[in-house]
Amino acid sequence: MKKKILLAILSCVLILALGVGAYAVFGGIAIKNRTLAYLESQGYSSADIQSVQVKTYYAIAGFRWETMVVFVDEPGVTYYYCYDFDKIIYQSGYMGPTADKDALKHKEG
């Protein structure tokens, strides 16, 4: 009887862990697509974008995704786009060798 209860608990934990992991992975794919759609709405084409990577973070209120975008004409600068809990995509920052904010070609705001 104890083995059955333990097996049931472990099965529930495993199913929950797999579900959370799948949500993070498939959510990240959806966020990548939404970020690309956002960039397209801002006038960029896929030829303008060198790479797009998504990182998933977990907070108390739920998942948060951050997309890192590198543009072809500015390969040394990574721009960060967030998709927050309220489903708004915005540029949250950048990282690169330039200290001159005015020299950044794709900085928003």
Domain boundaries along the sequence of the chain: 2-103
36-49: average pLDDT: 91
20-44: average pLDDT: 79
Residue 66 and residue 80 in contact, taking contact as beta carbons nearer than 8 Å = yes
CA atoms of 98 and 12, how far apart (whole Å): 50
How confident is the model at residue 51, as a pLDDT?
92
How confident is the model at residue 24, as a pLDDT?
58
- Above 80 in pLDDT, residue 41? yes
Considering the chain, what is the average pLDDT of its residues?
Answer: 80
The answer to whether the predicted template modeling score (pTM) of the entire model surpasses 0.75 is: no
How confident is the model at residue 26, as a pLDDT?
60
- Above 70 in pLDDT, residue 47? yes
